[in-house]
């Protein structure tokens, strides 16, 4: 490995000048800059990042904390994978490097994340699929290091989050169903202790109310975003004396499970019951009937996350991390990325035998 001194020697200048020339500093003559550039490139000189980070006190690297333990217990989670890819792509566009952290055995300790971020001089940290009230997470946020939650509602002096606009997405689903003439609309919710679960449910109720429609208590069944819970929830709904004509499942997997249950009962989608999902993961377009759903713009989420994090990092550099530092301003407002309704084949007009005709 050729180092900066070698380049200096071969260019007939000092290491300091080489550094200046290569880093585009103004205080160096164009002649020497060119000469240095040439010998550096001839020698294949590559500045060592560790050494640079050490002295510059910045690494151009952000970390990702992503708890994948759910893979073993519950199986894959497509949307999270999409989200990770979206983050990777956006980060690459911005020039940051991404370090996937392996807290390892120290996960339980309160300073696990703080420590690992400090040790690697990370300029910011993105978080996915972790419990926001974990002591290690709260300690990280309290440390003042720039943090961004992905679909994870964290807040702090230098922490914010991006997420799908779940309220808006749910309202799109409701509008679509109501527009098709449906009135008896049920919802299969996600877990009500995580943000997407809560917000999609809220959005559903709000928009139903906006249309002057009642949400019967027995039309609200909860699931856990995985397919089996959608199946089970739909069985519950089908057993009602007066089943719904449409179902809004707050996740695509649950929507697919619901469709299976409907088919197994000898009913047709969308002939008898319409189904709308949420997320637009890969399966949505592949099942038959293909699933009408609310898409999540995972590339947009990645971009929004990186932009927010960049701002937080900029503030961190400018004002420092001390308790006396002014808190973040604009960068602190969470960013909600809207999705779009993707109309496919799982939704249709309300059956004529039921309630209000679609076209009056």
Instruction: Read off the tokens for 16.
Output: 């300091």
Task: Tell the smallest beta-carbon distance from residue 144 to its own copies (Å).
Answer: 13
Task: Tell the smallest beta-carbon distance from residue 62 to DNA (Å).
Answer: 20
Which residue, 31 or 323, is less far from DNA as judged by CB?
Answer: 31
- Please report whether residue 61 would count as binding DNA according to CB under 7 A: no
CB 152 within 8 A of CB 307: no
- Please report whether residue 142 would count as binding its own copies according to CB under 8 A: no
Q: Which residue in 5, 9, 25, 76 binds its own copies (CB under 8 A)? A: 76
Bond prior to 270 in cis (omega within 30° of 0): yes
Task: Tell the smallest beta-carbon distance from residue 276 to its own copies (Å).
Answer: 17
Query: CB-hemisphere CA count at 13 Å for 16?
Result: 2
What does DSSP say about strands 341-342 and 292-295: parallel, antiparallel, or unpaired?
antiparallel
Site string for its own copies, 205-234 (x = CB under 8 A): ----------------------x-------
Task: Tell the smallest beta-carbon distance from residue 13 to DNA (Å).
Answer: 3
Q: Of residues 90-119, which lie at the interface with its own copies (CB under 8 A)?
A: 91-92, 95-102, 104, 111, 115, 118-119
> What are the backbone dihedrals phi and psi of residue 149, each rounded to the nearest 5 degrees, phi first?
-90, 140
Site string for DNA, 14-53 (x = CB under 7 A): xxxxxxx-xx-x-xxx-xxx-----------xxxx--xx-
Q: CB-based burial of residue 22 (10 Å sphere; 0-12 exposed, 13-18 middle, 19+ buried)?
A: middle
Task: Tell the smallest beta-carbon distance from residue 324 to DNA (Å).
Answer: 20
Q: Which residue in 9, 38, 41, 54 binds DNA (CB under 7 A)? A: 54
Q: Which residue in 42, 43, 44, 55 binds DNA (CB under 7 A)? A: 55
Choices 20-28, 46-54, 206-214, 326-334 (CB under 8 A): range interacting with its own copies: 46-54
- Please report whether residue 110 would count as binding DNA according to CB under 7 A: no
Choices 6-14, 40-48, 184-192, 323-331 (CB under 8 A): range interacting with its own copies: 40-48
CA-closest candidate to residue 99, choices 79, 117, 77, 86 = 117
- Please report whether residue 1 would count as binding its own copies according to CB under 8 A: yes
> What are the backbone dihedrals phi and psi of residue 179, each rounded to the nearest 5 degrees, phi first?
-60, -25
Q: Of residues 279-298, which lie at the interface with its own copies (CB under 8 A)?
A: 281-283, 286-288
Bond prior to 289 in cis (omega within 30° of 0): yes
Query: CB-hemisphere CA count at 13 Å for 229?
Result: 18
Residue 22 touches which of DNA, its own copies, none (Cβ within 5-8 Å per kind): DNA
DSSP one-letter code for 186: E
Number of H-type helices and E-type strands within the chain: 14, 12
Which residue, 54 or 71, is less far from DNA as judged by CB?
Answer: 54
H/E run at residue 43: helix 30-43
Residue 227 touches which of DNA, its own copies, none (Cβ within 5-8 Å per kind): its own copies
H/E run at residue 97: strand 97-100
* CA-atom Rg of the chain in angstroms: 26
Q: CB-based burial of residue 340 (10 Å sphere; 0-12 exposed, 13-18 middle, 19+ buried)?
A: middle
- Please report whether residue 355 would count as binding DNA according to CB under 7 A: no
- Torsional class of 334: left (φ above 0), alpha (ψ -120 to 50), beta (otherwise): beta
CA dihedral 304, 309, 314, 316 (to 10 degrees): 150
CB 122 within 8 A of CB 294: no
Q: Please give the residue ranges that form the binding site for DNA (CB under 7 A).
A: 1, 3-5, 12-20, 22-23, 25, 27-29, 31-33, 45-48, 51-52, 54-56
Residues of this chain that bind its own copies (CB under 8 A): 1, 44, 46-51, 53-54, 59, 61, 66, 68, 71, 76, 78, 81-82, 84-85, 88-89, 91-92, 95-102, 104, 111, 115, 118-121, 227, 253, 256, 260, 263, 281-283, 286-288, 299
């Amino acid at each position: 490995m050729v180092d900066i001194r070698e380049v200096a020697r071969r260019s007939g200048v000092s290491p300091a000048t080489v550094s200046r020339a290569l880093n585009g500093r103004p205080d160096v003559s164009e002649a020497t800059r060119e000469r240095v550039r040439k010998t550096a490139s001839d020698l294949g000189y590559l500045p060592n990042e560790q050494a640079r980070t050490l002295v510059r006190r910045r690494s151009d690297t952000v970390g990702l904390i992503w708890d994948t333990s759910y893979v073993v217990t519950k199986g894959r989670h497509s949307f999270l994978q999409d989200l990770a890819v979206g983050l990777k792509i956006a980060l690459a566009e911005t020039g940051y490097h991404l370090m996937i952290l392996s807290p390892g055995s120290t996960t339980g300790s309160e300073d696990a994340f703080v420590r690992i971020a400090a040790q690697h001089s990370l300029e910011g940290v993105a978080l996915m699929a972790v419990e926001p009230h974990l002591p290690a997470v709260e300690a990280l946020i309290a440390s003042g290091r720039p943090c961004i939650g992905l679909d994870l509602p964290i807040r702090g002096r230098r922490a914010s989050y991006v997420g799908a606009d779940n309220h808006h997405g749910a309202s799109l689903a409701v509008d679509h169903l109501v527009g098709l003439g449906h009135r008896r609309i049920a919802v299969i919710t996600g877990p009500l202790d995580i943000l997407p679960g809560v917000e999609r449910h809220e959005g559903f109720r709000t928009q139903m109310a906006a249309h002057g429609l009642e949400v019967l208590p027995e039309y609200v069944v909860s699931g856990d975003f995985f397919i089996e819970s959608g199946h089970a929830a739909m069985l519950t709904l089908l057993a009602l004396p007066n089943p719904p004509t449409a179902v809004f499942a707050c996740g695509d997997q649950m929507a697919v499970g619901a469709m299976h249950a409907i088919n197994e009962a000898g009913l047709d989608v969308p002939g008898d019951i319409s189904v709308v999902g949420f997320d637009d993961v890969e399966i949505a377009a592949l099942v038959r009937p293909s699933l009408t759903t609310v898409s999540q713009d995972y590339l947009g989420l990645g971009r929004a996350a990186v932009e927010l994090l960049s701002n937080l990092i900029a503030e961190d550099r400018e004002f420092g991390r001390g308790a006396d530092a002014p808190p973040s301003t604009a960068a602190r407002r969470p960013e909600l990325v809207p999705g779009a309704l993707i109309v496919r084949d799982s939704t249709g007009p309300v059956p004529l035998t039921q309630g209000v005709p679609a076209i009056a």
